Amino acid sequence: MTLAGDIRERLRARAGAPPSRESARLPAGRYADPSFHEAERARLFARSWLLAGRLDEVASPGLYMTWEKTRVPLIVVHAVDGVVRCFYNSCRHRGAPVVRVPRGRNRALRCQYHSWTYDTSGKLVSVPDERDFVDLRREERGLVPVACALADGAIFVNEEAAAPDLRDWLGPAGEELRAAAGEGLRTLDRRSVTVAANWKRVMGRLLAAPPAPPRAGAGPLIADGDAADAETLANGHLRVVAPFTPESASALGLASPLDWIDPADGAPSASPGPGAMLHSAAAAYVLFPNLLVALAPDGVLGLAVWPEGEASALLDAVWYAPDWGEGDSPAVQPAWRTRLEWTQGLLDGIAEALAGDAEAVAELAERGGALESGSEAVRRWHEALDARLGEHAPAALRVR
């Protein structure tokens, strides 16, 4: 049986069973308590591999970009030796930002304050009036590195000093994602929205109703998040596959939501492959902690949620498509325009739905109340969060 076939069988078994109680209680303080937020900052965002961009954003040696999604100023540099590196954007003289322009090309990184200059491997190579600095040892004053690694063109960074190998950390989720999404993707569009809610509330919405990007000729699609198959993979990553509603399934040419067909031949299969799953269901992977990757037959949508304090979050949506070479970006094509409009609608819809959420949740937290996780995917994601935070988060705020 293929992975897609296994998943479809579980979905079928679930469809025939009485509704299960997969929900868990989520103490509202998880979303509002400053100590919980601080534990996430220190134990999660400072110690996880986080998506910083794709190689096409710093495609050639000398290109750099600043990156501050975690509120820690970093620089990602495609060094002249061809290696992509990451450093704290902080000069080893007095801590000024080494680069101030968000993106650019430089063969050396020169701090504008007093012109200490670093090469793209982070080495301090030039100090004006160096003789004035008694005992200055250049080899000890290079830029402070941050772990940086690539997986299929995606750039990940990790502030943890002893960061695990990226491939090990991605594990089966990374392998499945590579098999389903393909390689050679390129950034097609990026957009963001600020949501007035805790970042976990945004993750919760994405997980409860996996995004179903429109497909050419099929009209809007709706996935049935309550019926989704959610599986926790190594390191807290998740796979979530939701069947479409009967109307959406019909728009895709399926006889019913669980009669998957392979778009290559339009035929149902006893043991469907990844192509049939991508065509016939809403499939997504969560790369723990904050990245949901929604798969479409001809592209990948990355949705990353970044905390901005307890009560606000930034939601980034980035579309990646197979590399289109030298020609015009497919973004101008009608099918992609529809998809990008849908993406904006998705972001706006989440921001609208969660307007006022932070205040309501804070009030609930004051009363010691809790929220229901609802879907299995949400529960599993919160459980992975608790497993990661361990004793560093208040015990009273754990999933129940």
Q: Which residues bind ligand FES (CB under 6 A)?
A: 91, 93-94, 96, 111, 113-116
Among candidates 331, 227, 154, which has minimal Cα distance to 7? Answer: 227
Q: CB of residue 112 vs ligand FES: minimum separation in angstroms? A: 8
Answer whether 305's CB lies under 8 Å from 203's CB: yes
Lookup: tokens for 139: 């080899």
- The nearer residue to ligand FES, 91 or 397, going by C-beta atoms, is 91
- The nearer residue to ligand FES, 127 or 180, going by C-beta atoms, is 127
- The nearer residue to ligand FES, 35 or 126, going by C-beta atoms, is 126
Order across the sheet with 281-287: list the strands: 185-195, 313-322, 299-307, 291-296, 281-287, 238-243, 229-232
Q: CB of residue 77 vs ligand FES: minimum separation in angstroms? A: 17
- The nearer residue to ligand FES, 90 or 198, going by C-beta atoms, is 90
- The nearer residue to ligand FES, 63 or 109, going by C-beta atoms, is 109
Q: How far apart are CA 9 and CA 175, in angstroms?
A: 21
- The nearer residue to ligand FES, 104 or 349, going by C-beta atoms, is 104
Q: How far apart are CA 213 and CA 234, in angstroms?
A: 26
Give Cβ neighbours of residue 240 (< 8 Å, ≥ 6 apart). 207, 210, 228, 229, 230, 283, 284, 285, 286, 377
Q: CB of residue 142 vs ligand FES: minimum separation in angstroms? A: 13
Give Cβ neighbours of residue 232 (< 8 Å, ≥ 6 apart). 238, 380, 383, 384
Q: CB of residue 107 vs ligand FES: minimum separation in angstroms? A: 18
Q: Is the Cα dihedral 10, 14, 20, 26 positive or negative?
A: positive
Q: How far apart are CA 202 and CA 204, in angstroms?
A: 5
Q: CB of residue 78 vs ligand FES: minimum separation in angstroms? A: 22
Q: CB of residue 109 vs ligand FES: minimum separation in angstroms? A: 10
- The nearer residue to ligand FES, 100 or 337, going by C-beta atoms, is 100
Give the SS3 label for residue 43: helix
| Distance, CA of 168 to chain centre | 17
3-state helix, strand, coil in the chain (%, to 5): 35, 30, 40
- The nearer residue to ligand FES, 65 or 99, going by C-beta atoms, is 99
| Distance, CA of 273 to chain centre | 25
Q: CB of residue 137 vs ligand FES: minimum separation in angstroms? A: 16
Q: CB of residue 114 vs ligand FES: minimum separation in angstroms? A: 3
